[in-house]
Structure 1
Amino acid sequence: MSVSFEPVKAGTSLADQVAQSLESSIRQGQLRPGDRLPTEVAMVAQFGVSRTVVREAISRLKSSGLVESKQGSGVYVQAARIEPLDLDKTQAASQEAVIQIVEVRRALEAEVAELAAARRNPEDIRRIHAAVQALADAVQQGRDGVSEDVAFHRAIAQAARNPFLLNTLDYLSQILAGATRVTRANEARRTDFSTAVTQEHAGIVQAIEAGDPAAARAAATAHMNNAISRIRQADPAFWAQDGRRLAQVLLPDAL
């Protein structure tokens, strides 16, 4: 599978940025188990970093069990260690399924935001702000911003300093990304929706940066509640034309 990457930016650890970009591609299924990563030379060129940075990033992915080296062949994505969720095909690709997944996100994101506000450090704040900017850039460039949106929420999860929560989000990442793809496509159809999302993200970041756990939990909960409301308000034509097609990623066979 051919995957390309954007150059990383100065600020946050370059190795962190490269590792996060690669991990995001793996978690979202752009790189699947058995796929070989681009060569070291190719990644140096695409990310605009040194070989040392690329090697450090790959080392981190190996430590996480996401990739493995094969002597003389390259670095490959490892197969998942647990089975995908067993979802009912007749229900998975539906508007109600997307809402139910956002309900799951609501429980997780509220806890993550509260912990992040209590435990974040300056590096976390820089990472979160970089994710916000990457999302804004994606929207400005006319892209759907799905991977950047997922990366934003994952940056907050990293600040929560709870590996079990982070691993749970990673396990659910493809399903969550599928639901995000639907919600963002719906929100892109209305300026008031997209503006509200930007403001809600800003509210979460502000509460985390201020070190206010209660406000962060409330902001994250409100964001998920509003996402559900926006899905319920979606034009029926959206679901008929785009929503159901985008939600196909929620089916077990797509996982």
Structure 2
Amino acid sequence: MNSKVSFRTLNRTKLVDDVVAQLQKKISGGELKEGDKIPTEPELMEQFGVGRSTIREAVRVLVHAGLLEKKQGFGTYLKRTAVIQEPLDSRLRRAEIMEVYEVRQMMELEIARLAAGRRDEDDLAAIKEHLDTRNLALANGDIKTYIEADIQFHIAVAVASKNAVVIDLYKTFSVFIRETLATIFANPEGHNPQTEAHIQLYESIRDGNAEAAVTSASRYLKGTLEELFGETN
């Protein structure tokens, strides 16, 4: 461990962001090097002047960003990879996208299940309309319309759940999904829109098959995660 690394005490409100920023600075400045063990939680708590939960959240962000790795029983280390190959800001952005998809998975699987049992004819018509618009826009290379139709498709599925709280949450959350889709299409080569899985989701909801709806939702979410991060879990 590099015992000479020290940090200033924080006094701002966004503590997690500040801890992440300081650790990021030590990494980019070379004070923490590949393979170095970072200070323990109690040491970081003392040096930053923050609580354990703040330190754990900051470390988790950097682990998701691919900068740190936890070794069970040994501590947390700066990964032995070429950390300069990808800008740190890009790595942190990928960590944010991962968090969006963790929440999205929790929401959409339950939404699919509820929608299959509660949808009515108006719901089905709305879902199908947005699905058709999505697929046509994709075929025409109209990315802006595609993204908006994809968002509206999933909102229509949420509306079919007949749960007002879920609907409001998903509409709010759709802002982050839109940003994620924009990130994907910044480099569209090799993008898999998971069209078949979306069609199967609609058909499962239409048929009232909750199990199949959850399976379809899980399929397109997993496919997108694999595309973004190479993850299969």
Q: TM-score, normalised by structure 2?
A: 0.56
* Shift in Å, 1:87: 8.7
Specify the alignment match of 2:111 in structure 1: 112
**Identity across the alignment (%):** 23
| Partner of residue 217 from structure 2, selected from 211, 216, 220 | 220
Between Structure 1 and Structure 2, whose CA radius of gyration is higher? 2
Is the Cα contact below 8 Å between 1:183 and 1:227 reproduced in 2?
Answer: no
What is the Cα-based RMSD across aligned positions, in Å? 2.6
Dislocated runs of 4+, deviation >3 Å? 86-93, 183-186
1:183 aligns with 2:180: no
Specify the alignment match of 2:130 in structure 1: 131
User: Quick one: structure 1 residues 149 and 171, their matched pair in 2 at CA, closer, same or farther if it must change by over 3 Å?
Assistant: same
Counterparts of residues 236-251 of structure 1 (less than 5 Å): none
Specify the alignment match of 2:159 in structure 1: 158
Instruction: Give the whole-Å Cα distance in 2 for the aligned partners of 1:143 and 1:108.
Output: 28
Structure 1 letter corresponding to 2:225: I
The structure showing larger relative contact order (alpha-carbon pairs under 8 Å, at least 6 residues apart) is 1
Instruction: Give the whole-Å Cα distance in 2 for the aligned partners of 1:87 and 1:105.
Output: 22
Instruction: Give the whole-Å Cα distance in 2 for the aligned partners of 1:140 and 1:208.
Output: 24
Structure 1 letter corresponding to 2:169: T
Q: TM-score, normalised by structure 1?
A: 0.52
| Partner of residue 208 from structure 2, selected from 211, 219, 224 | 211
Is the Cα contact below 8 Å between 1:102 and 1:179 reproduced in 2?
Answer: no
Specify the alignment match of 1:141 in structure 2: 140
For the residue of structure 2 that corresponds to 1:189, the secondary structure is: coil
Q: How many residues align?
A: 146
Instruction: Give the whole-Å Cα distance in 1 for the aligned partners of 2:203 and 2:213.
Output: 8
* Shift in Å, 1:171: 1.9
* Shift in Å, 1:201: 0.5
* Shift in Å, 1:184: 4.7
Q: Could you give the per-residue CA deviations for residues 173-203 of structure 1, whole angstroms, max 9, x where no partner exists?
A: 21121112223555x4126x23xx1011011
| Structure 2 residues without counterparts, runs of 5 or longer | 1-14, 22-60, 62-88
| Structure 1 residues without counterparts, runs of 5 or longer | 1-85, 235-255
Instruction: Give the whole-Å Cα distance in 2 for the aligned partners of 1:227 and 1:170.
Output: 20
Q: Could you give the per-residue CA deviations for residues 122-165 of structure 1, whole angstroms, max 9, x where no partner exists?
A: 11111111001111222133221111110110010111101100
Specify the alignment match of 1:201 in structure 2: 198
User: Quick one: structure 1 residues 184 and 166, their matched pair in 2 at CA, closer, same or farther if it must change by over 3 Å?
Assistant: farther
For the residue of structure 2 that corresponds to 1:190, the secondary structure is: coil
Structure 1 letter corresponding to 2:139: Q
